[in-house]
Amino acid sequence: MTPLTILPARPSTPSGVVSGSTPLPQDLLVDATRRLGIACLVYGGVVGLYLVFINVIAPVLSPDRPLDDAFPWPGNPVSVGIILCSLLLFGYTRRHSCDCQFALNLGLVYEVLLAFAIAVVNQWTPNTMGVSWVAVLIVIHPAIVPNTPGRTLAASLVAASMDPLAVGLSALRGVELPPWPVLLWVSLPNYVCAFAALVPAGVIRHLGRQVSRARELGSYQLGDLLGKGGMGEVYRAKHRMLQRPAAIKLIRVDTLGVKDPRFSEMVLRRFRKEAEAAASLHSPHTIALYDFGVTGDGTFYHVMELLSGLDFDTLVKRFGPLPPARVVYLLRQVCHSLAEAHGLGLIHRDVKPANLYTCRLGTETDFVKVLDFGLVKTVRKEGVDESLATAPGVATGTPAFMAPEVALGQPDIDHRVDLYALGCVAYWLLTGRFVFEAENAVKMMYEHIRTPPIPPSQRTELPVSPSVDAVILACLAKNAAERPADAEELSRRLASCDVGESWSPERAARWWQTNVPDLAPAVTPPGAWSKSVEVAIP
């Protein structure tokens, strides 16, 4: 299955809520914030080009005719100020910690500043000809940067008042003003546009509510988009009655761009199989399945527990290779999950860092969860192979973690392909590198079939004992018969490895508090972890 791309988290109000203070669901707020950043670049770019034209190009084209009337003295400092504001707001919208709703509120302040800049330049000498550019800004800006109708109206009315304010500043300078009825008539379009701006604000808010209602799946309300890939999307969700947080994985076959009904049937069968496999597993180290089903429009979904942590891929990319003691601690928990699955005749077939999470669970951290049984293979005693593979002889899985027999497309694989993949995961955790590196997937699979692996101790600066090397190389044996017999044996062999000081709950707690304090539990009761680990690891 195509891996899910995990999206960056942003601070938000409760997911999926559309109220008077939050016009859109969070993922749409993120999109609106990105549009605001683009708008800032466009506005600032236009002002910058105009500044260059007036000060550089125009004097060359028309040296005898100054453009003071079109661009009076305040134009230069005002333009520079707008460019700086545009860059600052753009930078804030691109920050990982950007609060989307706050950014949109800043967008309203930015609108008022733009209106003031336009008005000061246009009304330096009061202009009574035509509609002000402020009116154009008032109409366009709310469509690009949505907000609640009340805030939109307030900002629009303040922006509409910038022309009268600029005229008042001109009067203070002693400039002769036109009659007040003329000024009132010229300013009227600004205020008409301010009320007209309520139309796009109301439409967008209504669409936000429709999106929110459309995201109700059974008893669950969808919220933020957490990740997406070629064959699925994962959303944060909560039970509408119990308020229990969850993650909902869904797939719409019609979005895959394939019209073959057989392919659609195969995808839905694979997705259903994943749900059924997860439902049959009860290890605390296998992600829990709450519910699954099909919506009226043919969208298949299943509801899982919401994890708070890091997948092994992100863990190594952010913090580098792990010490052997921690690797052993994490892998033994994976073994607990796989042991149960293998005992029921289930082979995962896509064990890789992205499908293994180290989480905060209650007061515990470094609690591993195994995800995504989308390529699970069931082997029944009567020899019937109920596989999610598309066809015999086709390799399924991820090439960097693929056992030789899988790469060869052999039909009679067993649970030891998962142990091979887990050896590749251990290699990644210890070294931050794949067992084999190749230019493409085909060459990668060839390396797994033919090339002996280099011991991980030779590819990392961390001290890796010969016993750890031996266990990992045993998992990576080309011949499945030379690997550990099962996940329980692998767990025992890992437990006997020389890793120096063992990775304890206290060490794990300190690591989480130091490196990911937002995910670490506030309090870890003494002995809480040691008890759970005794239960979790055979």
Q: How far apart are CA 418 and CA 409, in angstroms?
A: 15
SS (H, E, C) 174-185: CCCCCCHHHHHH
Q: Tokens at residue 504, please?
A: 């304890």
CB atoms within 10 A of CB 180: 9
Q: Tokens at residue 260, please?
A: 């073959």
CB 313 within 8 A of CB 354: yes
Per the listing, tokens 């899985």 go with: 397
CB 374 within 8 A of CB 276: no
Best CA proximity match to 29, nearest among 170, 212, 294:
212
Catalytic annotation, pick one of 27, 350, 372, 418: 350
Q: Are strands 220-229 and 245-251 parallel, antiparallel or unpaired?
A: unpaired
CB 28 within 8 A of CB 257: no
Helix residue ranges per DSSP H, 242-323: 261-279, 312-319
CB 175 within 8 A of CB 125: yes
Annotated active-site residue 469? The verdict is no
- The DSSP element (H or E) to which 97 belongs, if any, is none
CB 334 within 8 A of CB 422: yes
Q: Furthest-apart CA pair in the chain: how many Å? A: 99
Point out the residues that are catalytic: 350
